[in-house]
Amino acid sequence: MTFAEATGALAAGVARIKAADPGFDVRDFERSAGLTMLAVGRAWQDGDREGAKPLMTPGLHREWSAKIRLLADSGQRSIMSGSRIDSAELVKAGSGAGFDELTVRIGFTCVHYEVDARTERLLSGSRDPVSLTEYWTFRRRTGAATTPARRIPADAPGDDELRAAVNAGWALARMEREADYRG
């Protein structure tokens, strides 16, 4: 697919979603995706399998929880700190089979490594900040509407991450590293 075709497909996908949901705003959604990433990262580091559950589809949550459990069972702990969202850009939008899907390319910087849970010895990763890109795909029932009360104002106080994730029923369905993303 050429760049022009991809851009046209993205615009058409957003137009279909906006036709059914006039309150949908791409910039609000991109911001919500970044906040969701921060919340999921915090739950990952804390080993909190239930903390991210409202943010994810059931299938993704099962996979993600199993990875946390595997780390703990192998005596490892994941450290993720200093997370900062550098960019969040909608790259794919579509509808079909009863669901709308949006994929956001998220650029972020963080420190991420695994340690031995008992000795704190570094097992993998680096204690230095790294810049990464991932593609996060969100899904919701086709025809769901963003209501003004559920949209997130830029200056909203409180737990932005949780409100962002439940914005109009969008749930995280896939997380893919840049090298694994196939569009």
Domains of the chain, first to last: 3-144+160-180 (3.10.450.240)
d(CA 162, CA 45): 17
Q: Which residue has tokens 């459990």?
A: 69
- Express each pLDDT in 110-160 by its tens digit: 999 999 999 999 999 999 999 999 999 999 988 888 765 444 444 444 454
Q: What is the CA radius of gyration of the chain?
A: 17
**Model pTM greater than 0.95?**
no
pLDDT at 95 over 80: yes
- pLDDT attached to residue 117: 94
d(CA 172, CA 104): 11
pLDDT at 168 over 70: no
3-state secondary structure of 175: strand
Beta bridge partners of 106: 88, 134
- Express each pLDDT in 63-89 by its tens digit: 999 999 999 999 999 999 999 999 999
pLDDT at 163 over 60: no
pLDDT band, residue 7 (cuts 50/70/90) = confident
